[in-house]
Amino acid sequence: MIRNKLKYLKHISDSVQQIANGNLGFNINIMGKDELTLLAQNINFMSNELENQFQHEREIEKGKNELITNVSHDLRTPLTSLIGYLDLLKKGNYSDSEKYKEYLEITYLKSQRLKLLIDELFEYTRLSNPNINLNLCEVDMSDLLQQIVGEYIPIFEKEKLNVIKSIEVKAPVLIDIEQVVRVYENLFTNAIKFSMKPSELQISLQAKGNYVIFKIMNQVEEKPSKDLNSLFERFYTGDKARVSNQGGGLGLAISKRIVELHNGKIYAEYDNGFLSITVEYPLKK
């Protein structure tokens, strides 16, 4: 009996050494039901937790590197073009005043594009801070959504999108109004960019269980070939056009982060030519 315990203790000691050498996730074979068994179980738990933490940190580091790469690419493109046009203006390489105005307008648009990219990057970074505080207050989601939709109706009509809405339910929620408004604005802008025109745009709000569920559905020319969850990744590249062609490529990623900060969920679905994005917020108890 003592010999077996000493043998098992040696096995535990060797296993701890494996973990100390960097073999995170290494597990000890569980035998018996005594104090050594409990010790082995605790060590296994610690080993698995260390592996999970290490994996999490590795993913964060990978995400940072990808973000830097994408930002560098997205900033370089308009910046190179901007410098080119400024160089033409500086050297006086334009035929007349109309060409001068044209170049000036292009440089302005390129600078605005850079500003949008930087603003979105700043906002995404700020929202990624685990210590961020939301300015929560109780509102009726139905009233808030009706107001935002009303503001966008002229834009929808200009873009030949016929809005069909169903927003009748009363839905008290505890939210940061400014941030949630940004989510709706991002989703509306995204729908305007990538909808077939003319077509229908369906907007609905309903209460189900402990959640209020918002859905926006627009008709698209083709189904995105990638996993629909990729829509909410930073700098997602779509089939029809890169999101960053008209935005910074972070709009949906920012929206996802805002929804998650409210303990909600956001996801996309595709059905018979329609792409829908659903957002679920917990109702105020």
Please give the Cα distance from 19 to 285 (Å, whole number): 46
pLDDT in tens, 11-58: 777 777 777 777 777 787 887 777 778 888 888 888 888 888 888 777
pLDDT in tens, 132-145: 899 999 999 999 99
Comparing 27-41, 165-179, 184-198, the range with the smallest average pLDDT is 27-41
Whether residue 282 is predicted with pLDDT greater than 60 in this model: the reply is yes
Across 155-173, average pLDDT = 93
pLDDT, one tens digit per residue, over 248-268 is 568 888 999 999 999 999 999
Parallel, antiparallel, or unpaired: how do β-strands 265-271 and 274-282 relate? antiparallel
Instruction: For residue 224, give Cα distances in angstroms to 48, 215, 269.
Output: 37, 18, 10
Could you confirm whether domain 137-282 is CATH 3.30.565.10?
A: yes
Q: If you average pLDDT over each of 29-33, 94-98, 112-116, 184-188, which comes out highest?
A: 184-188
Residue type present at position 185: E
1-132, what's its fold?
Helix Hairpins (1.10.287)
Cross-strand bridge partners of residue 212:
207, 281
Give the C-alpha distances (Å, rounded to integers) separating 17 from 12, 25, 26, 75, 259: 9, 12, 10, 47, 43
For 15, other C-beta atoms within 10 Å of its C-beta total 19
203 has which bridge partners? 165, 216
* Mean pLDDT lowest among 112-116, 223-227, 254-258: 223-227
Domain with CATH 1.10.287.130 in the chain: 1-132
The pLDDT value recorded for residue 111 is 86
* 239 has pLDDT over 50: no
Whether the Cβ atoms of residue 191 and residue 246 lie closer than 8 Å to each other: no
Q: What is residue 91's DSSP assignment?
A: H
Order the strands of the 199-208 sheet from edge to edge: 161-166, 199-208, 211-219, 274-282, 265-271
Percent helix, percent strand, percent coil in the chain, to nearest 5: 55, 20, 25
Considering the chain, tell me which residue range(s) the CATH 3.30.565.10 domain(s) occupy: 137-282
Residue 183: pLDDT over 50: yes
Cβ contact 268:229 at 8 Å: yes
